[in-house]
């Protein structure tokens, strides 16, 4: 993974840092794994704007990703590593021995031609998916299930990973990318390795237009709104705006919004780092 800083030939390129896409091997996706993706522009069925700061953006098609990795004990060869406009991580196209094709989240270090496998015959190597009960302690993992058979829901974005810390009874102790440490059932699956494209956080768009291409419209700062529009609006001149809070009046910094009676609280050993 590497980045390229552009020369300041134009104002939009002065601070621009782009991905070199060294890991990507093709720009043509697998047609059988594409699905249409409609945009709402933040409007409801009456055309009324119900979600602000959305709209425009380049047309995209959804890549159907196999988050469940439920094709057990069938070896697959990595055919391509591709860019996915719907996520920060790269994706990999797998060709299974029985002829099936599926996309998965590409792991750092995954190579074209490499063989990956999931199930009880898998070994703890990059790209393989195993049950938490079979993964050695201390292993770096990603694409972690929260409920058996649900499919990966945690540690799926670019560069993220968790770590299998311990096992006790029917639970494994997993450290998540946020720093939270929690119990996960041993019968849940996880993929060995960290997610690809770890330099994603270092990219600099360089100009406002590139953000518009992603479908994001300009955001109005609450401090410059009127009192009728936001709790932090109003005042003469450049006033501070009072305590930071949301449009609904919920404090933004340090205020806990998680329910004390939430069912999953008992599975969390240590909360995420502040």
pLDDT, one tens digit per residue, over 183-225 is: 999 999 999 999 999 999 999 999 999 999 999 999 999 999 9
CA proximity to 222, closest of 235, 209, 207, 212: 235
Residue 1: is its pLDDT beyond 90? no
- The per-residue pLDDT of the chain, averaged, comes to 96
What top-level class would CATH report for the domain 225-274?
Answer: few secondary structures
Distance CA 259, CA 157 (A): 26
Map tokens 């119900």 to a residue. 50
Indicate the range of 44-53, 69-78, 233-242 predicted with least confidence. 233-242
Residue 69: is its pLDDT beyond 70? yes
Distance CA 212, CA 17 (A): 17
pLDDT score, position 202? 97
Q: Residue range 66-78: average pLDDT? A: 97
Q: Bigger pLDDT: 237 or 79?
A: 79
Delimit the domains of the chain by residue range: 3-200, 225-274
Q: 130 is written with which tokens? A: 């195993």
pLDDT score, position 241? 82
Residue 274: is its pLDDT beyond 80? no
Question: Do the Cβ atoms of 239 and 55 come closer than 8 Å?
Answer: no
Question: Do the Cβ atoms of 161 and 140 come closer than 8 Å?
Answer: yes
Q: 55 is written with which tokens? A: 């709209």
Question: Do the Cβ atoms of 145 and 152 come closer than 8 Å?
Answer: yes
The fraction of the chain above a pLDDT of 90, given in percent, is 96
Where does the pLDDT of residue 14 fall: very low under 50, low under 70, confident under 90, or very high at 90 and above?
A: very high
Where does the pLDDT of residue 239 fall: very low under 50, low under 70, confident under 90, or very high at 90 and above?
A: confident
* pLDDT 10s digits, 152-170: 999 999 999 999 999 999 9
Q: Bigger pLDDT: 238 or 133?
A: 133
pLDDT score, position 2? 87
pLDDT score, position 240? 81
Q: Do domains 3-200 and 225-274 have the same CATH topology?
A: no
What top-level class would CATH report for the domain 3-200?
Answer: mainly beta
């Amino acid at each position: 993974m590497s980045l390229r800083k552009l020369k300041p030939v134009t104002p939009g390129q002065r601070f621009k840092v782009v991905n070199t896409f060294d890991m990507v091997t093709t720009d043509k996706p697998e047609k059988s794994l594409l699905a249409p993706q409609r945009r709402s522009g933040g409007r409801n069925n009456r055309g009324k704007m119900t979600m602000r700061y959305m709209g425009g953006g380049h047309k995209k098609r959804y890549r159907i990703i196999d988050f469940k990795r439920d094709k057990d004990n069938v070896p697959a060869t990595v055919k391509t590593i591709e860019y996915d406009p719907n996520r920060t991580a790269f994706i990999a196209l797998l060709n299974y021995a029985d002829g099936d094709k599926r996309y998965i989240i590409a792991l750092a270090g995954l190579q074209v031609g490499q063989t990956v496998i999931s199930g009880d015959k898998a070994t703890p190597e990059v790209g393989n998916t195993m049950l938490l009960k079979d993964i050695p302690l201390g292993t770096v993992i990603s694409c972690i299930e929260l409920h058996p058979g649900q499919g990966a829901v945690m540690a799926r974005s670019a560069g993220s990973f968790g770590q299998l810390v311990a096992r006790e009874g029917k639970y494994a102790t997993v450290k998540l990318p946020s720093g939270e440490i929690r119990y996960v059932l041993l019968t849940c699956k996880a993929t060995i390795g960290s997610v690809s494209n770890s330099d994603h956080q270092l990219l600099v768009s360089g100009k406002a237009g590139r953000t518009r291409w992603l479908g994001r419209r300009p955001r109005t700062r609450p401090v410059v709104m009127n009192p009728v529009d936001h709790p932090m609006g109003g005042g003469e001149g450049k006033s501070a705006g009072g305590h930071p809070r949301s449009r609904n009046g919920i404090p933004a910094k340090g205020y806990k919004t998680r329910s004390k009676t939430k069912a999953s609280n008992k599975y969390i050993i240590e909360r995420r780092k502040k």
